Structure 1
Amino acid sequence: MTTAHTLPPIIIVEDSDEDFDTVRDAVRKAGITVEVRRATTGGECLDLLRGSVAIRPAVVLMDLNTPGVDGREALESIKTDPALKSFPVVVFSTSANPRDVTFCYAAGANAYHVKPLRYPEHVQLVTDLIGYWLGRVVLPVQGVV
């Protein structure tokens, strides 16, 4: 397992304050100390990834239905950009539409989860996701080709 001081940040793409707060609660519950960066649109996420001080995240937790550049567009941009495509992108959406699921996997999503409606289940699912991606998965080392 990676130690807290070496963990790359996670990016949460979420326009709902309530859902973002739930994710932050879940990160705390997971017991993993990690920087959480928020983008409220897919465009803001791309700015974080491509900016002059670009973030190299452990994982991007992507809501699909955001204003402006939505999660679908951001997912496609990430997974077709050679500099970004190795970053894990986990879709976390209220949509259970099979078209959305199929689209996201075809575009390169690493996983797709439907947000539970009830707070306890929502927190537990995000806690499990964070624990998995930051505590169990071996992530690529930045700068190693």
Structure 2
Amino acid sequence: MKTSKELYIVDDSEDHRFIIQNIFSKFLPSYPVRLFRGAKELYELLILQADVNYQGGLPGLIILDMKMPVIKGSDLLRLLRQTPDNDKMSWKTFPIVMMSSQSSPQEIAECYQAGASSFFTKPTDYEELKILFRVLCKFWLDYNRLPSKIS
């Protein structure tokens, strides 16, 4: 199934972004993915996309790394959930998934309290990561239905 919805992934690790790009280009080419180094880079694009004259594509799912320098993932999540809705995006219900290589029960709870749609631990095994991204894309981009504002 070909989707027009883009997957946005924010991860400060250059190595992890390289691995993700490799997985999508080799095994999941029907899913457009855009990788970001940090929260600021993503938020600047989202501000541009909120403009009434913006003509480009919009994300169908955002995956945020929990532990990033400057702005951690849960803080960016909280900021996105507080962003006013517009005619293109409903930020209160938009799917935002959190990921981390390691996390405490308190950090997981913090993410859900901030409005996470889901939370997963990054697999260290390449095959497991490939399977996880396939499942995430299938569910959130193919099967999940969003309000008509952004679907």
Shared fold by TM > 0.5? yes
Give the TM-score, by structure 2 length: 0.80
Cα 1:55–1:40, aligned 2, differ >3 Å: closer, same or farther? farther
Native 8 Å contact 1:45 1:74 kept in 2? no
Cα 1:131–1:22, aligned 2, differ >3 Å: closer, same or farther? farther
Does residue 99 of structure 1 match 2:106? Answer: yes
The one-letter amino acid of 1:78's match is: L
Task: Name which of 136, 139, 143 aligns with 2:143.
Answer: 136
Equivalent pairs counted in the alignment come to 140
Structure 2 equivalent of residue 124 of structure 1: 131
Structure 2 equivalent of residue 56 of structure 1: 58
Structure 1 stretches lacking a partner, 5+ long = none
| C-alpha deviation, 1:134, in angstroms | 1.2
Q: Which moved more, 1:95-104 or 1:22-31?
A: 22-31
Cα 1:99–1:139, aligned 2, differ >3 Å: closer, same or farther? same
The one-letter amino acid of 1:77's match is: L
Cα 1:60–1:133, aligned 2, differ >3 Å: closer, same or farther? same
Does residue 44 of structure 1 match 2:38? Answer: no
RMSD: 2.2
Which 4+ residue blocks in structure 1 deviate beyond 6 angstroms? none
Cα 1:140–1:61, aligned 2, differ >3 Å: closer, same or farther? same
Structure 2 equivalent of residue 11 of structure 1: 8
Give the TM-score, by structure 1 length: 0.83
Cα 1:143–1:128, aligned 2, differ >3 Å: closer, same or farther? closer
Structure 2 equivalent of residue 24 of structure 1: 21
The one-letter amino acid of 1:35's match is: P
Cα 1:72–1:143, aligned 2, differ >3 Å: closer, same or farther? closer
| C-alpha deviation, 1:143, in angstroms | 5.9
CA distance in 2, matches of 1:81, 1:19: 28
Structure 2 stretches lacking a partner, 5+ long = 86-90
The one-letter amino acid of 1:37's match is: R
Q: Which moved more, 1:62-71 or 1:99-108?
A: 62-71
CA distance in 2, matches of 1:17, 1:127: 21
Q: Which residues of 2 match residues 77-116 of structure 1 at below 5 A? A: 77-83=79-85, 84-116=91-123
Cα 1:106–1:55, aligned 2, differ >3 Å: closer, same or farther? farther
Identity of aligned residues (%): 26
The one-letter amino acid of 1:56's match is: L
